[in-house]
Amino acid sequence: MGGATGFERQMKFSEQLEARYADMITHYPAKRSLLVPFLLYSQDEYGYVTNDVIAELSRRLEITELDIRNVISYYSMLRTKPAGRYNVQVCTNICCLLRGGEQMLERARQRTGVAVNKGISVDGVFSVEEVECIGACSWAPAMQVNYEFHENLTPEKIDQILDDYRQKAERQ
């Protein structure tokens, strides 16, 4: 797939992602420096870090695909498989734990029908993930749905929030 085979695949980034690349590449004296934030932006665009993105970045940044995959595996937000349209990330770290974080995770799992960690609901609307501290300690328990923060949660609030996202998904 990569440079080693001699059959380099070239993908075309979306216009938005290409603009992002063009901007970010000017920020640094060494071009691979854009890797981490750019991978996350590509994930936002395609749902996960795709093989094509990895191959294309390997070509542009002149580093191996293996090197890029090593980087991806280090960062907990980067994934190489799809998640649900709404990725529900419930914090159970100490401050959330003290205020019921584990019950919130359980409730989110029940409401979405996603039983396993990082699993996806049958309809593809939700995935649920138990995450480490998201920086909402004073407003615990908390979760993030994609990038949106939801704080001072109660089981009832979780139901309401998730139902709203489900409706939003159905409307689209």
Partner 1 sequence: MATLVSHPDEVKVVTSRFGKGAANIDRYLELDGYKAVRKALELGADGIINEMKASNLRGRGGAGFPTGMKWSFVPKVSSKPKYVLCNGDESEPGTCKDRLIFEHDPHAVIEGAMIAAIATGAHAAYIYIRGEYRYLLEIMQKAIADAYARGFAGKNIFGSGYDLEVYWHGGAGAYEVGEESALMESLEGKRGVPRIRPPFPAVVGLWGGPTVINNAETLASVPHILLMGGTQYAEIGVERNGGTRLFSLSGHVVRPGVYELPLGYSLRKAIYEVGGGIADGRTLKAVVPGGSSVPCLKPDEIDVALDFDSMMKVGTMLGSGGIVVLNDQTCIVKFALRTIQFYRHESCGWCIPCREGTDWLSKSLKRFHAGGGVARDIDNLRYLAENMLGRTFCPLGDAAAMPIIGFVKKFREEFEAHLDGRPCPYEKHGAPNALPVLSR
User: What residues line the site for partner 1 (CB under 8 A)?
Assistant: 27-30, 32-37, 39-40, 61, 70-71, 74-78, 92-95, 97-100, 102-103, 106, 132-140, 144, 147-149, 151-152, 154-155
| Minimum CB distance to partner 1, residue 59 (Å) | 15
| Minimum CB distance to partner 1, residue 7 (Å) | 25
d(CA 65, CA 63): 7
| Minimum CB distance to partner 1, residue 29 (Å) | 5
| C-alpha of 4 from chain center | 29
| Minimum CB distance to partner 1, residue 119 (Å) | 18
| H helical segments located in 27-93 | 35-46, 51-61, 65-74
Burial-class residue 26 by CB neighbours within 10 Å (0-12, 13-18, 19+).
exposed
Residue among 18 and 23 whose Cβ is closer to partner 1: 23
**Is it true that the peptide bond before 37 is cis, omega within 30 degrees of 0?**
no
Residue among 10 and 26 whose Cβ is closer to partner 1: 26
